[in-house]
């Protein structure tokens, strides 16, 4: 069985699996279910966990693993707070919930709107507190994440204002079919390559926003479930040699994503991807001026 390829996570010094476990999948799970997911991660060799203060009970579900497995994982969390006081409190609560003394990466969660950006970056803002936390050894690196069609442009602004170690943003065929977004993403990736910044991608296997109110939902968007369509969606990301793919908050997809990641990543043809769009009714989750929020 082929291992999942690895890639330097920017300039952090960590060799991360190109599949990063999106721990939002644990937010509503019982501990025994979460433990079964951990077994899948260990078997797959995934060595990077990405959670957030706002992902339900995700940090609590990860906490019991850390006594035995802390050294196996690059551990990342996020804060949605924008002030120094709020970010400081959020980080300490995350450390307590995760049962660790430090995390490898703390990310400013969905830093896209102008007011929040100005607060976080300014005096008394979240960045100030997270710098202090890094000096205290509570965190090793700082990153920034976001949703919507303006996130790539905002990440460029963030990188100009602060030397973040990583960025995170949506990346899939229908999102990149929107030319303004594709241009912003290309500019961001170029900057990240220049500065040694890791680029994490989300929503690789998104199908569309939910249209069936009666369906059982494990994520806020409807995912692809067809194995071949999932494989093509995963390869669309991993064929780009500078990108990481963060897994879906629907844990049912984890085995399919892992299986696809173990294969040589060959970029699917545009014809094949367009066929999936038609067959499965795939739509971009974010459209400029229409649907920007989660």
205 DSSP assignment: T
111 touches 147 (CB < 8 A): no
Closest CA to 22 of 160, 164, 191, 219: 219
Residue 215: per-residue pLDDT: 79
CA 146, CA 202: separation in Å to the nearest integer? Answer: 10
Question: How large is the angle between the packed helices 254-262 and 31-44, nearest 10 degrees?
Answer: 10
Residue 139: per-residue pLDDT: 98
Strand residue runs (E) in 116-274? 139-145, 166-170, 198-202, 206-209, 221-223, 243-246
Residue 181 token pair: 């977004």
- Cβ-based neighbour number of residue 190 at 10 Å: 12
Helix (H) or strand (E) holding 181: helix 179-195
Residue 43 token pair: 């078997």
Residue 289: per-residue pLDDT: 79
Residue 218: per-residue pLDDT: 86
Pairing state between β 198-202 and 243-246:
parallel
Which of left, alpha, beta for 16 (phi over 0: left; psi -120 to 50: alpha)? beta
Residue 293 token pair: 């929020």
Give me the sign of the Cα torsion angle 31, 37, 41, 42.
positive
Give me the sign of the Cα torsion angle 220, 19, 164, 287.
negative
Residue 13: per-residue pLDDT: 97
Which of left, alpha, beta for 230 (phi over 0: left; psi -120 to 50: alpha)? alpha
pLDDT in tens, the chain (294 residues): 789 999 999 999 999 999 999 999 999 999 999 999 999 999 999 999 999 999 999 999 999 999 999 999 999 999 999 999 999 999 999 999 999 999 999 999 999 999 999 999 999 999 999 999 999 999 999 999 999 999 999 999 999 999 999 999 999 999 999 999 999 999 999 999 999 999 999 999 999 999 977 677 888 999 999 999 999 999 999 999 999 999 999 999 999 999 999 999 999 999 999 999 999 999 999 998 788 877
Task: Classify domain 6-280 at the CATH topology level.
Answer: TIM Barrel (3.20.20)
197 touches 166 (CB < 8 A): yes
């Amino acid at each position: 069985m082929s291992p999942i390829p690895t890639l330097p996570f920017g300039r952090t010094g960590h060799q991360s699996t190109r599949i990063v476990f999106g721990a939002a999948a644990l937010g509503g799970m019982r501990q025994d279910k979460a433990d079964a997911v951990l077994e899948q991660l260990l078997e797959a060799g995934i060595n990077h966990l990405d959670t957030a203060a706002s992902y339900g009970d995700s940090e609590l579900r990860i906490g019991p693993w850390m006594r035995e497995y802390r050294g196996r994982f690059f551990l990342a969390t996020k804060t949605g707070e924008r002030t120094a006081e709020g970010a400081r409190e959020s980080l300490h609560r995350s450390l307590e919930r995760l049962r660790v003394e430090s995390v490898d990466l703390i990310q400013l969660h969905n830093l896209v709107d102008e007011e929040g950006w100005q607060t976080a970056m300014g005096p008394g803002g979240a960045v100030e507190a997270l710098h202090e936390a890094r000096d205290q050894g509570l965190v090793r690196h700082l990153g920034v994440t976001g949703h919507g069609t303006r996130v790539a442009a905002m990440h460029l602004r963030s990188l100009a204002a602060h030397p973040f170690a990583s960025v995170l943003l949506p990346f899939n065929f229908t999102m990149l079919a929107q030319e303004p977004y594709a241009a912003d993403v290309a500019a961001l990736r170029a900057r990240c390559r220049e500065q040694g910044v890791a680029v994490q991608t989300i929503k690789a296997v998104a199908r569309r926003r939910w249209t069936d109110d009666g369906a059982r939902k494990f994520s806020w968007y409807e995912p692809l479930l067809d194995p071949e369509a999932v494989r093509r969606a995963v390869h669309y990301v991993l064929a780009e040699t500078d990108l990481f793919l963060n897994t879906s908050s629907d844990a049912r997809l984890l085995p399919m994503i892992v299986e696809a990641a173990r294969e040589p990543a060959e970029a699917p043809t545009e014809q094949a991807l367009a066929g999936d769009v038609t067959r499965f009714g795939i739509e971009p989750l974010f459209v400029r001026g229409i649907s920007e929020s989660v």
